Amino acid sequence: MTYEEYERGEEMKAQGEVAQANLKAILDDHGCETVGQLARNAYKYTDCGAWLSVEVWGYERSTIVHGDAVRDLPTDAPIIAIHVGSIVEGVDGGVDAHVVDLLDEAFEEPAMAAAAYNRALEEVEKEAEDIWNETHGCTTCAQHWRDEGWLGGGSGGDGVTRVWDECPACSGSGSII
């Protein structure tokens, strides 16, 4: 082993420790022991049912682990980033992933990584709600927009009608497509 290889190995070890400490702060903050539990929490405790993927460092390059595979990850998997997003029913794409990079140098202490994760969850929740409200108006919402003379109001329940927040039919919550 050359000195450069030794140095690179030491540097990666140090980065791995930073990532582990940041991940632990996030897990502790949610009373979780594994990322699988964290993923279940994210799904369960957000209105939008947020999904979580994790980026795992591997030989030469990292891979992103999605869905049920997150739950099956070994507890010592070298996780370097958490991706949070959400699917919005009836809408292609949904909320794009917000990434919490566990090696982000802006995190001066692990608590800042935990705060960044919570912020990502909140942002995803808010964006999912915005997308829902842009697209899930019921037929009464649609009638309201047409009465207002807004030609782009849609017909309701078609995935393009905006929710009218004072709608008496859906109480401003929109309709399931």
Q: Contact residues for Zn ion (CB under 5 A)?
A: 138, 140-141, 167, 169-170
CB of 142 to Zn ion, least distance (A): 8
- CA dist 1 and 7 (Å) reads 10
Q: Tokens in use for 16?
A: 């791995």
**122 residue type, one letter:** E
Q: Which is nearer to Zn ion, 83 or 162 (CB)?
A: 162
**73 residue type, one letter:** L
Q: Tokens in use for 133?
A: 């409200």
Q: Which is nearer to Zn ion, 93 or 149 (CB)?
A: 149
Q: Which is nearer to Zn ion, 36 or 174 (CB)?
A: 174
CB of 163 to Zn ion, least distance (A): 6
CB of 156 to Zn ion, least distance (A): 7
Q: Which is nearer to Zn ion, 107 or 132 (CB)?
A: 132
CB of 161 to Zn ion, least distance (A): 8
- State the burial class of residue 75 (Cβ atoms within 10 Å of its Cβ: 0-12, 13-18, 19+): exposed
- CA dist 6 and 66 (Å) reads 33
